[in-house]
C-alpha cells in the first residue's frame, strides 16, 4: 500500500462545476496535509494546507480533512479552464519531508 | 513572501560534463532545502534533504558522489550533477522551508530542466 494515494485521473469537470479531488494516507499519526497544483512543465505551487479535522476554505478552494478515515480532499468551486492541472496531495513526515501522492490530472472543459 | 529561485531554468550539456544548479530563498532564511527530480508524467521524487552547514541526507538509491549538494548559507543550496549522462536528463526542483512552526510548508523553486546529450 502506498503511503499517499490519489486517483491519477484524468478527472474531467465542466466549467463552472465543482471539482472534487481525493487523497488517502496510511500513517494515522500524520498531522499536516497539503495540496499543490502543478501545471505541465512547471514546479508545484502550494494551494492549501490543513492541520485540523474539518473544512478549511480559501476563495474557491476548500480542503477537507478526516483523520479518523485518513482522507483529505480538495474541492474547487466554479471550476475554470485555468484550474486544469495536476493536483498533488502531500503529507508531512516528522522530519519535515513530504510524502507525495502520484497526483490527479484535472481537466476543466469549457 | 517565501520566494525561491533556481538558476539556470534550462540547461543542455554534453555527456560527461558537470552541471551546477543553484537554489536561493530570496526573502527568507531557509533552514532546510530539499532537492527533487521529476521525470515526465511521474510524481516528484525526493533526492536529498539539505540542512545549512551540515552534510545532505540522500534518499535510498541516490548516489551522493554523483549528485553533490552544498548548503553553505541559509539562502543558498547548490546541486551539482557530476559526469552527467543522458539518463540524468530530468526536471530538477528545489524547495525550501522556513524555521519553527512554518517549517511544515515547503516553497518550491521554478525548476531546472536538464538535458544531457
Measure the CA–CA gap between B75 and B95, rounded to whole angstroms.
11
Give A33→chain B minimum CA distance, Å. Answer: 9
Q: Name the residue of chain B whose CA is nearest to A41's CA.
A: B91
Per-residue pLDDT, A38: 96
Per-residue pLDDT, A27: 92
Nearest to A43 among B46, B97, B109 (CB): B109
Give B113's contacts in chain A (Cβ within 8 Å): 41
Q: What is the pLDDT of residues A45-89, one digit of tens each?
A: 999 999 999 999 999 999 999 999 999 999 999 999 999 999 999
Contact B43 A88 (CB under 8 A): yes
Per-residue pLDDT, B72: 82
Measure the CA–CA gap between B89 and A96, rounded to whole angstroms.
27
- Output phi, psi for A49, to 5 deg: -135, 150
Contact B108 A96 (CB under 8 A): no
Per-residue pLDDT, B42: 87
Q: What is the pLDDT of residues A11-52, one digit of tens each?
A: 999 999 999 999 999 999 898 999 999 999 999 999 999 999
Q: Which pLDDT tens digits describe chain B residue by residue (117 residues)?
A: 689 999 999 999 999 999 999 999 998 888 889 999 999 888 899 999 998 888 899 999 999 999 999 988 889 999 999 999 999 999 999 999 876 666 678 899 999 999 999
Give me the torsion for CA of B31, B108, B37, A86, rounded to 10°. Answer: 150
CB pairs under 8 A between A and B: 45
- Does A1 score more than 80 pLDDT? no
Nearest to B110 among A43, A49, A51 (CB): A43
Amino acid at each position: 500500500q502506498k503511503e499517499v494515494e490519489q486517483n491519477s485521473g484524468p478527472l474531467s469537470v465542466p466549467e463552472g462545476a465543482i471539482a472534487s479531488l481525493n487523497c488517502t494516507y496510511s500513517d494515522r499519526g500524520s498531522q499536516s496535509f497539503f495540496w499543490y497544483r502543478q501545471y505541465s512543465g512547471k514546479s508545484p505551487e502550494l494551494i492549501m494546507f490543513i492541520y485540523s479535522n474539518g473544512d478549511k476554505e480559501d476563495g474557491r478552494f476548500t480542503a477537507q480533512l478526516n483523520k479518523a478515515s485518513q482522507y483529505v480532499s480538495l474541492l474547487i468551486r466554479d471550476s475554470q479552464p485555468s484550474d486544469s492541472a495536476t493536483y498533488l496531495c502531500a503529507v508531512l513526515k516528522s522530519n519535515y519531508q513530504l510524502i507525495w501522492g502520484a497526483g490527479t490530472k484535472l481537466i476543466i472543459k469549457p | 513572501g517565501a520566494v525561491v529561485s533556481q538558476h539556470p531554468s534550462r540547461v543542455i550539456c554534453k555527456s560527461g560534463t558537470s552541471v551546477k544548479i543553484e537554489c536561493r530563498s530570496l526573502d527568507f532564511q531557509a533552514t532546510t532545502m530539499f532537492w527533487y527530480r521529476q521525470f515526465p508524467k511521474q510524481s516528484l521524487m525526493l533526492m536529498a534533504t539539505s540542512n545549512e552547514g551540515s552534510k545532505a541526507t540522500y534518499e535510498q538509491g541516490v548516489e551522493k558522489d554523483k549528485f553533490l549538494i552544498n548548503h553553505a548559507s541559509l539562502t543558498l543550496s547548490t546541486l551539482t550533477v557530476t559526469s552527467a549522462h543522458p539518463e540524468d536528463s530530468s526536471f530538477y526542483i528545489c524547495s525550501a522551508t522556513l524555521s519553527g512552526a512554518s517549517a511544515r510548508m515547503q516553497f518550491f523553486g521554478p525548476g531546472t530542466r536538464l538535458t544531457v546529450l
